[in-house]
Chains A and B, each alone.
Chain A
Amino acid sequence: MEAVINEIKKPENLVYGKTKVLTDNVMHYCPGCSHGVVHKVLSEIIEEMDIQDQTIGVAPVGCSVLIYNYIDIDWQEAAHGRAPALATAMKRLRPDRYIFTYQGDGDLAAIGTAETIHACNRGENIVIIFINNGIYGMTGGQMAPTTIEGMKSSTCPFGREPVHDGNPLKMTELLAQLPGTAYVTRQSVHTAGAVRKTKKAIRKAFEKQKENKGTSVVEVVSTCNSGWKMTPVEANKWMEENMFPFYPLGDIKDV
């Protein structure tokens, strides 16, 4: 078998490898974190579209604040929640560049709700990638606006109760109603099939930006296994059973 394996391991038989847009730095994320998969998908699209020197990302606040160490493109760091405002300025100054923001749910749906909604309502020609794991992962798993009913977090240890804690916010559905958005979709990265679909969705969002159609929002329902206190495999199962009924996957708006 060893001989057969060495026979196959040749450059001409290579079908999948790490893209060159990703740097060699080892990611600081916990084992099984969805951020790594989304970084990879994003890098692959940038490589496929050959826009590495024309893309500028806006890094968020949260675990992925160090995204500029991992994806080898130009980056700007925004204050918490202000990524769409910064991206607006960048796109208006450099309309020839591909501009995207990469934000978590605490960033996009809590502190940055105003910036997000107004950027989408103005129809700024940017791509917003929204990583929704239902909690504030980096600061210790506190309740976020997107925490679903009954979900446990460190600030609602008995599960979220709408009477006491308010209702979870479906940010993507909200943004789909605005006339400025061109493409609004919700995807996930829990299986290989879902990763392929997410890749198609992000690619489509970048194509829309190329055609000056308006704002594209790609929500990725993801896991935070450390914050949820589960193994990566359990977290994916929990997400399928509990998150997907409330956050159904698929395209919400496609103009």
Chain B
Amino acid sequence: MAKMIGTIEVDIETCKGCSLCVEACPTNVIALADEVNGKGYNYAYMANPDACNGCTNCALVCPDSCITVYRKKVEMV
């Protein structure tokens, strides 16, 4: 059976920590970091990277276009 695995890359300095991506993620991958970026915002990061399937919902709702999504199909044994 094939499975989609995905990952996201967040542009930390552009992220404003609005948490819309946290809300939009259907698999609860994203969370806001305890650390802050140069502007003092708690940026978004992948807290649970195993669950990401690369659906792009987070990137679609991101107002600052700081999320890049990658997705790959892998064959499960």
Q: Which A residues have a C-beta under 8 Å from some C-beta of B?
A: 1, 4-5, 7-10, 13-19, 22, 26-27, 29-37, 40, 189-192, 195-196, 231-233, 236
Contacts and interface: CB of A to CB of B under 8 A. Distances in A.
Contacts of B66: 18
B56 to A, nearest CB: 4
A30 B41 CA distance: 12
B32 to A, nearest CB: 11
Interface-centre pick from B22, B50, B65, B71 (highest chain A CB count, 10 A): B65
Interface in B29-59: 41, 49-50, 54-57, 59
Contacts of A29: 63
Nearest to B58: A192
Contact of B16 (A14, A16, A31): A31
B63 A16 contact: no
Contacts of A8: 5-7, 70-72
Interface-centre pick from B7, B9, B55 (highest chain A CB count, 10 A): B7
A195 to B, nearest CB: 5
Contacts of A32: 16, 18-20, 63
B6 to A, nearest CB: 7
Closest 8 CB pairs of A and B: A36-B63, A32-B18, A31-B16, A192-B57, A31-B18, A16-B69, A16-B56, A232-B18
Contacts of A192: 24, 55-57, 60-61
Contact of B20 (A9, A15, A40, A232): A232
B28 interface: no
B16 to A, nearest CB: 4
Contacts of A18: 65-66, 68
A220 to B, nearest CB: 13
